[in-house]
Amino acid sequence: MAPTALLVTSNRHKLEEARAILAPLGVRLRGRSRRLPEPQADTLEEVARAKLRSLGAIRGPVLVEDSGLFLEGLHGFPGVYSAYAFRTLGLDGLLRALADRPREARFRTVVGLRNGSRIHLFAGELAGRISREPRGSGGFGFDPIFEPRGGSRTLAELPPGTKNRISHRGLAFRAAARRLGGTSGELRPGPPGPAPRRRRSATH
Ligand code: IMP
């Protein structure tokens, strides 16, 4: 039987992308729309762990994810505050804040997987540059201003399949898929229940 997992997110774009990434690996993804608490934290890993902790009892493998855009010219801002920066500054505000500073940037995603009492974290990263103006209509969020390294098109100008192949989210979810048994063996669901205090983690 194909491994199945539940992704809890209020972002339908993330669910769509994760499904497209996992389907070719034989992992079926169910979605549950729920806004999870995002504590003030220094790292995406801490946020992903907090999201997993807030889930309560769920049977079978459950996934959450947290992503951020890290701008070299702004010393890593917005990073873990990316959702806030997107809501308050928007793309134009962020471009203005960056002004003539260095345009190197990276996207990062951390996927948290909880299966019974075990927790695993998987990270993915995409390096690139911030464009001078928003371009393209695909994707979501900061995609119109992010040019992956080695090309001149923004993520919003690339076909969705191309974004998923190279993206931070693609890397993190494919690593999670290996753990879920998408490419090697199957993960048996553990007993339901919130994670215990001591957790094992594996960040790749
Ligand atoms: P969060 O993981 O929901 O906290 O996302 C942080 C912010 O980054 C949100 O405003 C998202 O829209 C944006 N974001 C997350 N992933 C991506 C992506 O793959 N492309 C562009 N923007 C993204």
Range of the domain at 83: 4-180
Residue 166 lies inside a defined structural domain of this protein? yes
Structural domains in the chain (count): 1
The percentage of the chain sitting over the pLDDT mark of 90, rounded to a whole number, equals 80
Concatenating the DSSP letter of every residue in 125-146 gives EEEEEE-SS---SSSSTTGGGE
Classified as helix, coil or strand, 8 is: strand
User: How far is it, in rounded angstroms, from Cα 177 to Cα 199?
Assistant: 20
Residue 123 lies inside a defined structural domain of this protein? yes
CATH number at residue 161: 3.90.950.10
Residue 60 lies inside a defined structural domain of this protein? yes
Where residue 54 falls among pLDDT bands split at 50, 70, 90?
very high
Residue 193 lies inside a defined structural domain of this protein? no
Classified as helix, coil or strand, 81 is: helix
Position 53 pLDDT exceeds 50: yes
Residue 76 lies inside a defined structural domain of this protein? yes
Residue 114 lies inside a defined structural domain of this protein? yes
Mean pLDDT over 60-74 rounds to: 97
Predicted pLDDT at 168: 98
Residue 115 lies inside a defined structural domain of this protein? yes
Beta bridge partners of 70: 78, 106
Pocket of ligand 1 (CB under 6 A): 11, 66-69, 82-83, 86, 107, 139-143, 169
Kindly give the number of the ligand 1 atom that is closest to the alpha carbon of 86.
10
In degrees and rounded to multiples of 5, residue 49 shows phi and psi of -60, -45
Residue 37 lies inside a defined structural domain of this protein? yes
Which of 46, 142, 147, 167 maximizes ligand 1 atoms within 8 Å of its Cβ, making it the mutation to test the pocket?
142
**What is the gyration radius of the CA atoms in the chain, in angstroms?**
17
